[in-house]
Every structure is written in C-alpha cells, then in structure tokens.
Amino acid sequence: MLKKFRTSNEKGFTLIELMIVVAIIGILAAIAIPNFMNYQCKAKQSEAKSNLGNIRTAQEAYYAEYDNYTNSLPAIGFSTKGSARYSYSVSGLVTSAVATDDAFTASATGASVGKGDAWTITNGGTLSVASNGCE
C-alpha cells in the first residue's frame, strides 16, 4: 500500500515514524530525569556526611590534646572552601567555648539541598538524619 504513494527516488521518514521516536524519547526521559535528580541529591548529601566525619576526626584530635571537646569550628581547624551547600555547627554543654562534658554533636543543615537536610554526628561516630531532603 505504501508503495503506491512513494516513488523510487523519495527518501526520508514518515510522520508516524518520527512521532514514534519522539514518544520513545519522552518515555525514556520520564524515567531517567527523576532518577538523575535523586542521584544528584544524594551526591550533594555526601558533602555533609564527609564534612561531619572530618569534624569528628578534628574533634578527637582536639580532645587528645586538651582533654575536652570544643564548640568552635575554627578552634579545630575546620572551614569550608567555596560555596558550601550546608552550614555546620558543633554543640555540647557549654562553659565559654569549651564543651564541659565529654560529648559533642556536630550538625549540618542545608536548605538548598532537596527540601532541607539536617544531618548530625556524635562523638561516638553515630551519623543520623533528622530530615532527608532527597526522599
């Protein structure tokens, strides 16, 4: 039937063939884009997890030298370079700039990642999430 409408020297694709290709690309994009966004969000969260681990390591080094933890990030030599996605803080029982108990909690809060992330790590190394912006 198609041979009736086509001559031997006509080349190209029919409109139906092009529409099928566009539909297939649309279906693949609908599957791939949400997965990509989820992986991208989890990659950004690895910044917080890594930096919290670095804060814990620095706190342990500070504790080995001074026999207590500090609530001051500059005192342990922690700072971020460039534009950080998270803001970091350390807390414990405070008298001046030193935590009086032998425990601390470091937290990372990011409003720009997902719908607001909040991660914490304790001196024991327990990493927990208060709100996960990727879910």
pTM of the predicted model as reported, rounded to 2 decimal places: 0.70
> Mean pLDDT over residues 37-55, rounded?
89
Q: What integer pLDDT is reported at residue 41 of this predicted model? A: 85
Q: pLDDT tens digit string along 2-29? A: 555 556 667 888 999 999 999 999 999 9
Residue 99 has what pLDDT? 46
Looking at domain 14-131, which of 3.40.640.10, 3.30.700.10, 3.40.50.200, 3.30.465.10 is its CATH number? 3.30.700.10
Mean pLDDT across the stretch 47-60?
Answer: 92
- Per-residue pLDDT, averaged over 68-92, amounts to 88
Q: Over pLDDT 70: what percentage of the chain? A: 82
Average pLDDT over residues 113-122: 78
What does the pLDDT read at residue 103?
84
CA 92/CA 99 separation, integer angstroms: 5
Given this model, what pLDDT does residue 129 score? Answer: 87
C-beta neighbour count of 40 within 10 angstroms:
13
Q: What is the rounded CA–CA span in Å between residue 70 and residue 91?
A: 8
Nearest CA among 95, 120, 99, 96 for reference residue 110: 120
